[in-house]
Copies of this chain bind each other. A is one copy, B any other.
Amino acid sequence: MHARNPRIGIIGSGAIGGFYGLLLAKAGFDVHFLLRSEYEAVSHHGLTVQSAVHGRLHAKVNCYADAAQMPPCDWLLIGAKATGNPQLAPLIVQAGAPDAKVVLLQNGLDVEAQLRPLLRADMHLLGGLCFVCADRQTPGVIRHQALGTVNVGYHSGPGDDGGRRLVEQGVSLFQAAGVSSVGMPDLAGARWQKLVWNVPFNGLSVLLGASTAQLLGDSHARTLVQALMEEVMVGAVACGHAMPAGYAQQLLSMTERMPDYWPSMYHDHVHHRPLETEAIYAAPLARAQSAGCHLPRMEMLYQSLRFLGKNSEGAML
């Protein structure tokens, strides 16, 4: 029996699931990966993270092509795109032990609300906001450029303690793996805060074909990034979530200190995969609108991405 008893399942084999899953496995947790297209590569060669922070990490890992083969997991970290949640739900249900804790390591708003009705009533649902620069290089090989924090908040589940204990447990898991993590008492507020970064950088990386350094190095694009950040914060406040003072400036400075980065939406776009436009744009726009708040730049970005997505998605198929 392992010293650290929780068994962790990782659903989604991209940069996020692979990175955190491997760090947890390296920390001695009992980690199991459900994989689809990467199954062959990972089952033969294991997982590799080439990290600017941790150096080169490599391990053989427990991996599965079929959720029915997985042992029941106490924690399930979902690293797949939010666009795939409806299809993933049955696998999550299958892989989860009784009272399993499901953590959505995804961007956007209302992703938990969308998934909740598809889970078992005994399952707890949490959100994890990842501040990390990582991308998948080849099957089973992930490049980690910078950062790594995962902030955890509770969404819903049985019992009425508001999930504080489970948030603490989740935070401890990540911290035990060397990952900086704090609990977020207001999950929706934390998701809005993450959107302040994702809304400008994800969308503009696609619309303007530009990386973070290219956007911040151009005075017009930089002003636009800032204006979008301010709009998201206006939306958050209108929806009742206070934002930290000077937060936009803080994110701009953080992004400037990061290595040049191409957000995941850019990779999705160039590979003709679905874009997370609903979680990152449509859901917060709808919330803001319900609060009587119009966010014209964000709306324009959403409309532009929908247009581009429609004309790109599946184009390689």
> B218, B299, B311: which contacts A307 (Cβ < 8 A)?
B218
Interface flag for A238 (CB, 8 Å): no
In the complex, A221→B307 CA distance in Å? 6
**B residues less than 8 Å from A218 (CB atoms):** 306-307, 310
Q: Is the CB of B210 within 8 A of A307?
A: yes
- Are A227 and B300 touching (Cβ within 8 A)? yes
Q: Name A296's contact: one of B297, B306, B307 (CB within 8 Å).
A: B297
Q: Mark A292-317, 1 if CB is under 8 A from B, else 0.
A: 00001101111110111011000000
A220 interfacial contact with B, CB 8 Å: yes
Additional 20 contacts, C-beta under 8 A, given A218-B310, A220-B303: A207-B207, A208-B308, A210-B311, A214-B311, A215-B307, A220-B306, A220-B307, A221-B303, A221-B304, A221-B307, A224-B303, A224-B304, A224-B307, A227-B296, A227-B299, A227-B300, A296-B296, A296-B297, A297-B297, A297-B300
List B contacts of A306 (CB < 8 A): 218, 220-221
Q: How far is the CA of A262 from the CA of B297 in the complex (A)?
A: 24
Query: A302 with B220: in contact, given A207-B207, A208-B307, A296-B297 (CB under 8 Å)?
Result: yes
What separation, in Å, do the CA atoms of A74 and B250 have in the docked complex?
61
A150 shortest CB reach to chain B, Å: 32
Q: Which residues of B contact A214 (CB under 8 A)?
A: 311
Q: Pick from A208, A215, A227 the residue with the most CB of B within 10 Å.
A: A208
Q: How many copies does the complex hold?
A: 2
Query: Which of A210, A299, A300, A311: most chain B CB closer than 10 A?
Result: A300
Chain B residues with Cβ below 8 Å from A307 are 208, 210, 215, 218, 220-221, 224
User: Residues of A with Cβ closer than 8 Å to B?
Assistant: 207-208, 210, 214-215, 218, 220-221, 223-224, 227, 296-297, 299-304, 306-308, 310-311
Partner of A300, one of B210, B300, B310: B300
A215 contacts across to B, CB distance below 8 A: 307
Task: With a 10 A CB-CB cut-off, give which of A215, A223, A307, A308 has the most chain B CB atoms.
Answer: A307
Closest chain B residue to A301 by CB distance? B300
The answer to whether B300 touches A224 (Cβ under 8 A) is: yes
B210 touches A303 (CB 8 A): no
Closest chain B CB from A220 CB (angstroms): 4
In the assembled complex, how far is the CB of residue A174 from the closest CB belonging to chain B, in whole angstroms? 37
Closest 5 CB pairs of A and B: A220-B303, A220-B306, A224-B303, A221-B307, A296-B296
A50 to chain B, nearest CB (A): 29
A304 to chain B, nearest CB (A): 6
With CB as the reference atom, state the residue of chain B lying closest to A306. Answer: B220
Question: In the bound complex, how far is the Cα of B227 from the Cα of A301, in angstroms?
Answer: 13
Query: Is the Cβ of B296 less than 8 Å from the Cβ of A223?
Result: no
In the bound complex, residues from chain B placing their C-beta under 8 Å from that of A210 are 307, 311
Q: What's the Cα separation between A299 and B296 when bound, in Å? A: 11
Q: How far, in angstroms, from A223 to B310 measured CA to CA in the complex?
A: 15
